[in-house]
Amino acid sequence: MPKFFLISGLVLMISGVAQVFVRPRKAGETTAQKVINGSVLRAVVFVICGLLGVLIGLGVIPMVRLG
C-alpha cells in the first residue's frame, strides 16, 4: 500500500508542476493574473496532495487507521 501512495503522489506532483507550464496564457495578462487563477490554484492543490502522498508512502506520516 505505501508504494501506491508514493507513486500516485509523485504523479500528482509532476502533473501539478506541468499544469503551470502548459497553461495557455491570454495576451496581455498581468503578473497578478498569471499567479492567481484557477490553473495555478489547482496546481498548488495537486502538489500539496502529492507531497502528502509521498510522505505517507515513505512512512514519514503514519497512515490513519479507522475503526
**Is the whole-model pTM more than 0.95?**
no
- Give the confidence band of 56 by pLDDT, cuts at 50, 70, 90: very high
DSSP string, 31-49: HHHHHSSHHHHHHHHHHHH
Cα–Cα distance, 32 to 12 (Å, whole number): 25
> pLDDT digit string (tens) for 7-54?
999 999 999 999 888 887 778 888 888 778 888 889 999 999 999 999
| For the chain, domain boundaries | 2-23+31-58
